[in-house]
């Protein structure tokens, strides 16, 4: 199993290209199930989750082809991929596939809308009511779907097409917004989704669906209106730059010090997080080619944050920000309101010398003057990269184990950081 070795203490200087957003690419790929024409997606990142979803879509009969990369790109960087779901050969998404990636559950919306039926496994380790699968079920039932739960599978049918309706999300859910918006594009009549997610990835999906012939208004607000159409066509669409990767590398520069241009980044996609980062004493400078991040070696100021749906501070940057706060000059409070059990990185940061105490959904971080390298274990995608950020400033050697978590969401992380002067390398077993 691969590991990542980091020797801390180097400032970061140079450029880091920002990849296409994983959280935008996955629903866009699933949208290919809505049409028998080809959907061409540009700027698709080369990540383990993308490759897994390609396999899952192939199980349903989706063909794909990858266009050649530009000469200026390294092999493995973002690609253009053509997806063609001309013939849906199977409307079942089995447990052995869905259990490996939660987002694959989202195929239920397009399959039900286009084929009138879908049998999709509940995500691995997920009970109804946690990380709200119930919102998907309630929303699809509001659109006229007949749904049963049997032996760990959601059995859904819509014999005479889904029917447009008004649905109010009881809580904001990006995944459920994706699914109901996709399903409603082929429903009869008008659908109004209220308290919908406003994230940029939702807007990116809506723009793609509109290019395919859907009639959607209000994406990016809390009320989205969809007028169903009889069929969708193919389209060509570009995946937005990854705001979580952008924020992660910005925090890495803040932690290590230095001056880095995040090429292709868009400040409007994560302004809430950038405003918080500026309060730590880090310079954030939007430029035509991306975002310049600079910290000249002065101390890191502590800042309190609470995770919120967009446009607030993203839950997917909470762990990284905690890594940064471990060396702030004072005490910070980080409150997680989106997901439970998202403080698993605390114990591993403590192995590096961090002082963190937990009080319910709040982590209280008392900044220390130095961290010391140690072997640590990645527990999930975002937790793993928080350990990398801490390792960049820790004295001596930090070895991060279980880096397959990183490969799910960060394209060539060690290559991008080492190109800016970090001492970081992958160790293969």
- Which residue numbers are catalytic? 126
Annotated binding-site residue? 143: no
For residue 426, give the nearest of 393, 388, 394, 373 by alpha carbon.
388
**Rounded distance, CA 178 to CA 193, Å?**
11
Among candidate residues 194, 40, 43, 183, the one with its CA nearest the CA of residue 120: 183
> Does 23 belong to an annotated binding site?
yes
Q: Is 215 annotated as a binding residue?
A: no
**Which residues fall within 8 angstroms of residue 7, CB to CB, at 6 or more apart?**
373, 396, 397, 398, 423, 424
Would the annotation count 160 as a binding residue?
no
| 171 annotated to a ligand binding site | yes
- 298 in a labelled binding site: no
* 49 known ligand binder: no
φ, ψ of residue 198 to 5 degrees: the values are -110, 5
Distance CA 96, CA 227 (A): 35
> CA–CA separation, 324 vs 388, rounded Å?
10
Ligand-binding annotation for 50, yes or no, is no
Using the 8-state DSSP alphabet, how is residue 75 labeled?
Answer: T
Residue 210 counted as an annotated binding residue: no
Question: Is there a binding annotation on residue 22?
Answer: yes
Is 72 annotated among the ligand-binding residues? no
3-state class (DSSP) for residue 142: helix
Q: 262 has which bridge partners?
A: 16, 291
Query: Does 418 count as an annotated binding residue?
Result: no
The packing angle between helices 381-393 and 318-325, to 10°, is: 20
Is 119 assigned to a binding site? Answer: no
**How would DSSP label each residue in 341-401?**
S--THHHHHHHTT-EEEEETTEEEEE--S--B--EEE--SHHHHHHHHHHHHHSBSEEEEE
Annotated binding site for phosphoenolpyruvate: 22-23
Binding-site residues for UDP-N-acetyl-alpha-D-glucosamine, in ranges, read 102, 131-135, 171-174, 316, 338
Which residue numbers belong to the known binding site? 22-23, 102, 131-135, 171-174, 316, 338
């Amino acid at each position: 199993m691969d590991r990542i070795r980091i020797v801390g203490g180097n400032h970061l200087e140079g450029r880091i290209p920002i990849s296409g957003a994983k959280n935008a690419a996955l629903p866009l790929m699933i949208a290919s199930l809505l049409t028998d024409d080809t959907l061409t997606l540009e700027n698709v990142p080369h990540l383990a989750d993308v490759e897994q979803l390609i396999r899952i879509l192939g199980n349903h009969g989706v063909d794909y082809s990858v266009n050649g990369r530009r000469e200026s790109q390294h092999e493995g960087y973002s690609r253009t991929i053509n997806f063609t779901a001309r013939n849906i050969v199977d409307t079942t998404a089995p447990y052995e596939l869905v259990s490996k990636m939660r987002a694959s559950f989202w195929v239920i919306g397009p399959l039900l809308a286009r084929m009138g039926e879908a049998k999709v496994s509940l995500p691995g380790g997920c009970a109804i009511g946690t990380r709200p699968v119930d919102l998907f079920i309630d929303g699809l039932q509001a659109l006229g779907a007949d749904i049963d739960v049997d032996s760990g599978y959601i059995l859904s049918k819509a014999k005479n097409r889904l029917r447009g309706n008004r649905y109010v999300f009881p809580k904001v859910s990006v995944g459920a917004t994706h699914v109901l918006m996709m399903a409603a594009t082929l429903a009869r009549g008008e659908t109004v989704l209220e308290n919908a997610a406003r994230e940029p990835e939702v807007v990116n999906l809506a723009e793609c669906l509109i290019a395919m012939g859907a009639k959607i208004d209000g994406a990016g607000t809390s009320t989205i209106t969809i007028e169903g159409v009889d069929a969708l066509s193919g389209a060509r669409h570009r995946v937005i730059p990854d705001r979580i990767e952008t924020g992660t590398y910005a925090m890495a520069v803040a932690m290590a010090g230095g001056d880095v241009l995040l090429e292709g980044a868009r400040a409007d996609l994560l302004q809430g997080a950038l405003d918080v980062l500026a309060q730590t004493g880090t310079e954030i400078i939007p430029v035509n080619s991306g975002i310049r991040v600079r910290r000249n070696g002065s101390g890191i100021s502590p800042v309190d944050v609470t995770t919120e749906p967009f446009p607030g501070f993203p839950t997917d940057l909470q762990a990284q920000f905690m890594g940064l706060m471990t060396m702030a000059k004072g005490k910070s409070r980080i409150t997680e309101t989106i997901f439970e059990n998202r403080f698993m990185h605390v114990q591993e940061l403590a192995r590096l010398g961090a002082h963190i105490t937990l009080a319910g959904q709040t982590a209280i971080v008392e900044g220390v003057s130095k961290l010391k390298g140690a072997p640590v274990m990645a527990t999930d995608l975002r937790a793993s990269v928080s350990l990398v950020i801490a390792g960049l400033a820790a004295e001596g050697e930090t070895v991060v184990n279980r880096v397959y978590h990183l490969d799910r969401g960060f394209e060539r992380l060690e290559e991008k950081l080492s190109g800016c002067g970090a001492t970081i390398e992958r160790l293969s077993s």
